[in-house]
Amino acid sequence: MARDETRYWEEQHRTDDSLNAVGWAGLGRAFNGWMYAVRRRVFRRLVRAHVAIGPDSRVLDVGSGTGFYLDLWRELGAGRIEGSDMTENATRRLREARPGTPIHRADISDADQLPDGPYDVISAMDVLFHVTDDDAYERAIANLSGLLRPGGSLVMSENMLDDGRVHAGPVQVSRSEAEITRLLRAHGLEPVVRAPMFVLLNGPVDSRSRLLHRWWWLVTHVVSYRELLGQVVGAALMPFELAAVRIARRGPSTKLLICRRTGAA
């Protein structure tokens, strides 16, 4: 990643070790906690249905941050779990908190920093849309593919816009589904599952609906005003969100994508 992006994430992890450091800045710990509760439910449901995990499965989580997905892989029964992060602060905290888990300091877009594969499963959750440079983005996909064994699974999240791209600040780019799919297939990764991770509890970056954008504006302004409001709004919306992510075919926000590594890249 670019030096400015690395500096941004180092600062995030230097000042905060909660989900706030990797979640939506400004929405508060309580509301971010509910957003991650949605992520947890969607991730567990889809991985259980589409990814073979067992005590001998070797799993790498990329961009581990606070260790949220490391814990999820443990819950799902993976026996050989490794984490990685490009920042010194996150890597140090992860190693201190999980002394039995190998934690690599690595930038997934830099081939010289990668751990030794192959892995049965790799997760890269809310990571790739923070790679703003297009060349680095393709290198990241190529490196993820190279770390997987043939037949292995990549579990990732992306915004996957219906068309075009959206720049959200200095450290996030939402690319089109066509562009992302083309790059994945070019590097031997075949998408087999695409499902919405959010409908109501995240920015509708993949929607032109004025109603949805107005809704998200209202939610963000309410929950950012007081921490207690974030707790109340998140708790009230959680059941509706869990129903919506099961019903929606595409979703207006981030998607979870599962890819299989083919024999050729």
Quote the mean pLDDT of the chain. Answer: 90
For residue 16, what pLDDT is reported?
56
- Name the domain count of the chain: 1
196: domain CATH number?
A: 3.40.50.150
Domain of residue 191 covers: 3-261
Residue that has been written with the tokens 């219906």 in this structure: 162
Q: How confident is the model at residue 111 (pLDDT cuts 50, 70, 90)?
A: confident
Beta-strand ranges (E) seen in the chain are: 58-61, 80-85, 103-105, 119-124, 148-158, 166-167, 173-174, 189-196, 255-261
For residue 56, what pLDDT is reported?
92
User: Does residue 103 or residue 9 have the better pLDDT?
Assistant: 103
For residue 201, what pLDDT is reported?
95
For residue 53, what pLDDT is reported?
93
List, for residues 184-222, the tens digit of each pLDDT value.
Answer: 999 999 999 999 999 999 999 999 999 999 999 999 999
List, for residues 232-261, the tens digit of each pLDDT value.
Answer: 999 999 999 999 999 999 999 999 999 999
Q: Are 256 and 43 in contact (CB under 8 A)?
A: yes
Residue that has been written with the tokens 């606070």 in this structure: 66
User: Does residue 12 or residue 68 have the better pLDDT?
Assistant: 68
Characterize the bridge pairing of strands 148-158 and 119-124.
parallel
Angle subtended by helix axes 28-50 and 227-247, to nearest 10: 20
- Residue 171 clears pLDDT 90, i.e. is over it: no
